[in-house]
Structures are given as structure tokens and as C-alpha cells.
Chain A
Amino acid sequence: MRTELVVVGAGPAGLAAALAADARGVRVTVVDAADGPGGQFYRQPAAELNARRPQALHHQWRTWERLRDGLAASGVRLLTGHHVWTVTGGPDSFTVHALLGPGQDEPATVHADAVLLATGSHEHVLPFPGWTLPGVVTAGGAQAMLKSGLVVPGRVAVVAGTGPLLLPVATGLAAAGTRVSALVESAGPRQVARHARALAGKLPEGAGHAARLLRHRVRPLARHTVVRAHGDDRLTGVTVAALDADGHVRRGTGRYLPCDTLAVGHGLLPQTDLAEGLGCHLDGATVTVDAEQRTSAPGVWAAGEATGVGGAALALAEGHIAGRSAAARLRGTEPDPAGWAPAARTREALRTAAAALDAAFAPPAHWAAQVTDDTVVCRCEEVTAGAVREAADGLGAGDVRTVKLLTRAGMGWCQGRMCATAVAGLTGCHSDPPRRPLARPVPLGILAGTAPDRAAPDRPAPDRPAPDRTAPDRAAPDRAAPDRAVSGRPVSESDRSPSEQASTGGLSSDRPPHGRLARDQNPPEAFEEGSP
């Protein structure tokens, strides 16, 4: 049966959208790269691990149960293990091109009348000396390991960087038996305290992260940063130092903390490759959407972190609105925003909160000053900070694209997802949103055999007026970083750091609900008042 709406991404936004559209009689297919639904936020332990209390690592477990049960009871078709490399077509006929299988070497396509992009975000990590040592993992990667494999990365850990993700990572590691010796946050103590208090009020277990930090003797070091990771062939410790109010490292404040694991993160970046390829307008790093979550490309909706990082509760509200809008417009009717007013109120409040968090948890302004010339910035192509600086200062490169052309920084497996912001920061130059027409690496044999797009829906429904949209045919990209973070030159498996071996965890993560506002959020079914 032909799909009317294809949803890319089975995280909170994608599932909320799929359920909202399904409830209105739309034939929905959801595709996702993972083995099961939930996305990074509701990442599940593998079934064979027989985890007894997977909810121990999750907030909003009941929300997840409702999504999961709703999905099971719905007519939504879920296609897992689909790694989408491009979406083509428009405005009323689209093709999702995906790769299947453990080797991502089998092609698959899904045809649909409309597309809803819920592609989420990926993790942002800025370089510092020693960050490529085995033992250094991303904060999201550490959490993904906890959630999916329940593997504890090390015995003594430091959690560092900035952002609301660090607290649950620190408490999650501590609860799993790792000694977390410090939580190093570059934001000031006031921001951290405010956020910790907000989180403390709403955990299902009734114990706040702040209280847990105390219980596990995790030392919070606000307005501090890791200036270097030490070790010969793997991590043995880190030097942390205090920051002044302007974001400079304060001299003489460095101290050594022994550890075998450093979980580090500097926030999340929206995944916009597929949207960009479909011709959707981007505002900086995020996909622009209207009040109905429609992108500028007719027939394409977007919801969740691709439209701005703001957490799972915001993604649920946006997904719900997007799903209802798409359902109405696929039926040729004007949607009634009054029907989703509760979700719209939640969306508004959480977007405001997200903006405040973004401002509070920015990386230190002068982080680049700590990056020595021999520090590798682009891990895929092994390009050092010195080479990047030489391209800017010696060869006149004035933007990230030119630095890439002259150094290869950003040309490798991850296509600059990890290093583009670092290159921009190191050189003080401008970074346009990169174009990645291939959202993930695709075998040439599959590319060569790609079936041409269908000119029209293969089963046009005579009882259904054509959707009111028009747009040019563009080709395009997906979500997610490549699952392989292999170096530019061939490397053996043992050469790869745990952060790379953490697979999706290497570049992706979730984010806890934000602040007090999250307490007022409506569960998905609460958005359904006034629904059919």
C-alpha cells in the first residue's frame, strides 16, 4: 500500500508526528537507522541483554511507554535499520533512498506523497590537546553506551564541556558504578545551579541530579574547562583550569585529575542534510519552519531538533503539530490550529527555554587559544590546528570551505560534522552551513543502480484532491553522522578510540528535558483534545 507520509526519524518528534497523522487516517511509514524506535532520547538496551530496569537511565519513561504502545496499536509502518542517504522529488511525490544491513550495502526506497523530517541532532565536541586519546569519549557517546549496552566505559571518569547533557551523563555514569571525580562545566555556577534545581524537581525517581552528584561525591567545577588530556597510548588524566568571566583560562589555576575516561560534549547541532538537499530554507544551522512546522519546500515538514535543539518535550510538541498539519493538507483541507493549541503553547514555552539554555551554556569564548598547533582538529583526515591556522594566515583562506579545500579538514568520513565549527573558531572565519548532498556514504554500485524517481504517485487516490504544493525537484541528504569514524587513511579497528567505537554514540546523544517548564509539558495524548 502506498505511503502517504514518510517520516524520517523515529525519535520523539518522528513518533509524535507519525501517531498524530495515523490517528487522522493517513498511511504513514517511519524510517530510522536504529534497530528500534525511540531515537537517541529513548535509546533502548538490546533485547538480548535482558536489562531489568532500562527505565533507570531514562526520564519520562511513561511518555516513552505511551509512544511505544501507541505505535504498536497504530497502523504506522516502522522500517528500522534504514540509513537514509538522500530524499528526492517533490512537491507531491518523494522518494527516500536508504541503505540496509549491517554493512549498509543493500539499497531500499520508500515512495510517498509527503515527507516529514525528524532527523534530530548530532553532538558537538570542540578539540583540545589530547582529545583524540583512547579513553576520551563524547558525553552523548557515554550515555548511549549506558542506555544501549549498559556498558560502563571506565573506572574513574571526568565529565566535561558545557550544556545540560553533562549532568545526566555524570549521574548516569556514577549510578552505573564509575567513580566520577569531577563535572567540569564552562558555564558559570549560577547557570549550573539554576539548571540543577530545575532538573531536581521532575525526575521520576524523585532524586535530583544535583542530589545524586552529592551522593556520588561528584565534584562540580563550574566555570572550568579541560585544557589537556594526558596519556601516551590511552588516557591517564586531565588538566583542568578555571575560566575568567570573559572565557579566558586563568593562569596558575591548572590542576591534574587522574582518570581513565573523559566524557566531553559542547552541545548539539541540528541534522539538516536531508532538508538542505530538498531545498528547504535554513536559518543558520536550523531548518526554517512555519507555525504548522512546514519547511519552505512544498510537501516537506520538519520537527524536532533539526528545527532547533530544545529537547524531547519540545520535539514531541513539534512532531504532533507537524503530523496534524501534514494529515490535513494531504486531505486537501486547511488545518485548524485551534486543535493543537496545547501543543503550540508547549512549543512556545520550550523554545523560549531552549534559547535561554543556549545562551547560558555556550563554549568558553576563547577555547581556541588552548588548542596547540599539533592538536588534530579533523580526525578523519588527521589535519592539525597548525595546518588550519597556516591555511588562514599563510594562504589567505577566509572561510571554512577554503580552509577545507586547502587542508582537507572536513573532507573525510564525517564530512565536517565534527570539525567544521572548530575550524571556524580556530581561524575566526565564517562558516556557512555545509552542503552534504550525500547524507551518508553510499556504495557506487548502489548509486549507479538507483531507480529514477517516479514522475507521479503510482496509485493516485481518485477521492483525494492533490495536495496544495509545488516545488522543484531537488536531490538530497539525511541525518546522522556516519557510523564509521575511520581515519583518512586505512586504520585497524584497534587504532580507533572508544569514542569512535561507540558507533552512533560517537556523534550523537540525547538531551534531558529542560527546566521547570518541562514539568508543565503535555504528554502526547494531551495534545489530542479536539482531535477526530
Chain B
Amino acid sequence: MSESLTCDVVVVGAGMVGAACALYAAREGLDVIVVDRGQVAGGTTGAGEGNLLVSDKEPGPELELALLSARLWTGLAEELGRETEYEPKGGVVVAETPEALAGLETFAAGQRAAGVSALGVTADRLHDLEPRLAPGLAGAVHYPQDAQVMPALAAAHLLRASGARLRTGRTVTGVLRGPGGAVRGVRTDRGDVHAPAVVNAAGPWGGEVAALAGVHLPVLPRRGYVLVTEPLPPRIRHKVYAAEYVADVASDSAALQTSPVVEGTAAGPVLIGASRERVGFDRSVSLPALRALAAGATRLFPFLARVRALRTYAGFRPYLPDHLPAIGADPRAPGLFHACGHEGAGIGLSTGTGHLIAGLLTGADPALDLTPFRPDRFCPEAR
């Protein structure tokens, strides 16, 4: 079955970032088509925990994007909060040793200056916030702006709310170019989609879509596992993670790194992350990674030792060498816009990204300085 379609903007990727781009573009009055070779939320979105975090970001462009996104999520939650299981639960970053706490406090002080709400929690007050935390922790910082959504539901409901036409099971095989190299849409295995603008929201496969347009974008996958427990009554109130997580996020190592990230969900199961490995798109399960996740989680919350893990799955975070996403127009291919490479923060950063892309599509002034996110920043001639 082949059909030829025409619209104002075609978004490649029906994950969270593609959904947010579609929503904000449609709200600017643009006619949007979303294509994906898989299903809604079938890639990184469906394998994530749905974190909307400011707590793990150091002052800089990503934190600015996170704060913009958090404001937009708060607004969206009024409309779609129930459908997306939006929960403004807040985050708690715990330090196991006085040294780690000192580092965490310094980090939090910088964040406060950038507009983050970060509240110090002394060891004796920690269990008021999270009664089941292990004893003997040095202290924590509480981040009330952290929130959570169910990412697959969020993507599906933002897509539906956008009114965009959704074409899943359709693989993009080429980028159509006009005179002078301008982008004219995409070719798919089931027909062409004609549009003067193409948004690359293909997550870890964003580099492949860029290559179809003849441009270089070095997006690589960074594998992570999530362990999911049996459903429990609410016992973990916040997103709770250890201070070393922040260092792992920013690390460039290819080897397995794990730092415990633990949170309850609206549906009952507790989600346990976070591991990071650079192993390509290998989905096979690694017992060492699961062992490390379980050990980290039970160290933070001893009661979890008797709780059963029901399932586990791997996902691939799309990362770029400087750990910042690519957001913006690509000067090498007029009409091509990138919105990918958000690593493990794409659910949270999706709203800001979609809002910025919609602004670029309609010629509005961007809410943020987009220079750090320039898609062509990795090619030699751009430096």
C-alpha cells in the first residue's frame, strides 16, 4: 500500500520528542504528519522511566532547557496530566558519605543560582521524606521540581492531542531534495510525504536519518536496563537516587556503570535504574548489569531485598559526544530540523525541544539560545 501525502511538516519518529514537536507545531497552526518505522513509543521512549528531572543537570544549556521543559510540562499536565500519569513527586538525591554530601551540596548551590529549587535535607530529617531509606546515610538534597510521567502514554496522548496524522510501520528511506538542496519531504517504503520541513526526531537512529539527508550527526546508543518489581502499595514517595548518578550521566566511559535510581509508579511497580554501557544496539540481557542494579537499589532501600523483580528490559539512550541534544535547523540541508540526541533525558526535555522547534518552523524568536545545540557543531568546518 503506497500513498503520497502532503503537509507543512513531517516529523520522523513517533517517540516522546517527535510527539512534542508534533503537538507544538500543530498548535502553531501547522499541518503535521508523524512517520515511524515502528510503533508509537516503540524505541527509547517505551524503554524509559519517564523522568522529568532538573536535579541531575549542572548549570548550563541543558539545565536551561530542562527548566523551560518543566514549566511546559506543568502547563500540559493541566490538560493531559491524568492520561500521561503526570506526577510532580519531586526528587531526592542521597549521599552515602560526608564527602559525597559535600560534593552534592556544592553541586546544588550552583543549581540554586540557576533557578533550581534544591533543599538540603539533614540525615535526621531524611526519613521524614522517605521513611524506608536505609539507615546511616549522610544526607540528601530534595528537588521539588522533579516529576514523572508514563512515557509511552505521554507520547501517545501528546500525539493524539496534536491532531497530527500518524503513519506508523513506515520506514523513511530517503530525504527528498529540491533545487538548491532544499528539503522537500521524505521518501518512505510506503510512499512519499511531501513537506517543506522535516524534523528528525529519530532518537538513537537520528544519525541514520541525518545521513539520508547527507549530513553528519554522530548520535550513538548508550544501553541502559530497567528492572521492574512486582506491584507494591506506595512505599517510595520520590524519585530517589545516589549522588554518583550525576557523575555517571556525564561520564564518557564505554564500560558498564551503574548507580541506583529508584522510584515508585502510579501503577504500583518500583522501577530500578540506571545502568549505562556503550555496546551498540545489543539487546541481550547482561546479568552483571542486573546484579549491579539490584545491589544498588537494595543498598538504598533494604526492604527491596525481598521484593521480586518481574521483568527487565533494555533501552538505548541517544547520545552525542558532548552529551547535549541536537536542536535546530541544519544549515547543510535547508528545511531539515533536528530534535534528537537527548540521551537519557528526552522525556523531560521533549516539551522544551518541541516548543523550540515549533518556534523555528514559524519564525518566532527562540526562548533559549540555541547555539549550544547546533546540529552542525560536530563537523570540522563548523568549528
Contact = CB atoms under 8 A, between A and B. Distances in A.
Contacts of B294: 444-445, 447-448
Nearest to A89: B287
Contacts of A401: 39, 42, 46
Contacts of A472: 284
A277 B286 CA distance: 10
The 5 lowest CB-CB distance pairs between A and B, nearest first, are: A445-B305, A405-B152, A441-B308, A447-B294, A448-B294
Interface in B268-321: 268-269, 272, 283-288, 290-291, 294-295, 297-298, 304-313
Given A448-B294, A472-B284, A441 B230 contact: yes
Contacts of B166: 396
Interface of B: 14, 39-42, 46, 152-153, 156-157, 159-160, 166, 168-169, 227-231, 233, 267-269, 272, 283-288, 290-291, 294-295, 297-298, 304-313
A424 interface: no
Contact of B310 (A413, A435, A448): A413
A253 interface: no
Nearest to B228: A411
A443 B227 CA distance: 11
B168 A396 contact: yes
B311 A438 contact: yes
A74 interface: no
B287 A88 contact: yes
Given A396-B159, A445-B298, A450 B287 contact: yes
A425 interface: no
B306 A441 contact: no
Contacts of A381: 267
B309 A447 contact: yes
B79 to A, nearest CB: 16
A488 B309 contact: no
A381 B309 CA distance: 16
A444 B308 contact: yes
Contacts of A279: 284
Interface string A431-443: 0000111100111
A442 B287 contact: no
A467 interface: no
Q: Is the interface of A mostly helix, strand, loop or mixed?
A: loop
Contacts of A415: 310-311
A31 to B, nearest CB: 18
B305 A443 contact: yes
Interface string A307-332: 00000000000000000000000000
A437 B226 CA distance: 12
A401 B227 CA distance: 17
Q: Is the interface of B mostly helix, strand, loop or mixed?
A: mixed
Interface in A60-89: 86, 88
Contacts of B153: 405-406
Contacts of A435: 283, 313
A374 interface: no
B41 A402 contact: yes
A413 B228 CA distance: 11
A449 B297 CA distance: 12
A490 B233 CA distance: 8
Interface residues of A, number: 44
B156 A406 contact: yes
A379 B202 CA distance: 35
A82 to B, nearest CB: 17
A488 B305 contact: no
Given A444-B229, A447-B290, A448-B291, A437 B41 contact: no
A444 B310 contact: no
Contacts of A437: 285, 290, 311-313
19 contacts: A395-B157, A398-B39, A402-B41, A405-B41, A435-B313, A436-B311, A437-B285, A437-B290, A437-B313, A438-B311, A441-B310, A442-B309, A443-B308, A444-B272, A444-B294, A444-B297, A444-B304, A444-B308, A474-B285
Contact of B268 (A443, A450, A488): A488
Given A399-B39, A402-B40, A476 B285 contact: yes
A412 B268 CA distance: 10
Contacts of A436: 311
A232 B231 CA distance: 27
Given A398-B168, A472-B284, A489-B268, A444 B309 contact: yes
Contact of B291 (A398, A399, A402, A450): A450
Interface string A284-326: 0000000000000000000000000000000000000000000
Nearest to B287: A475
Contact of B40 (A396, A438, A476, A489): A396
A415 B160 CA distance: 28
A438 B233 CA distance: 22
Contacts of B295: 448-449
A453 B290 CA distance: 13
Contact of A444 (B169, B269, B298): B298
Given A402-B152, A437-B312, A397 B40 contact: yes
B311 to A, nearest CB: 6
A252 interface: no
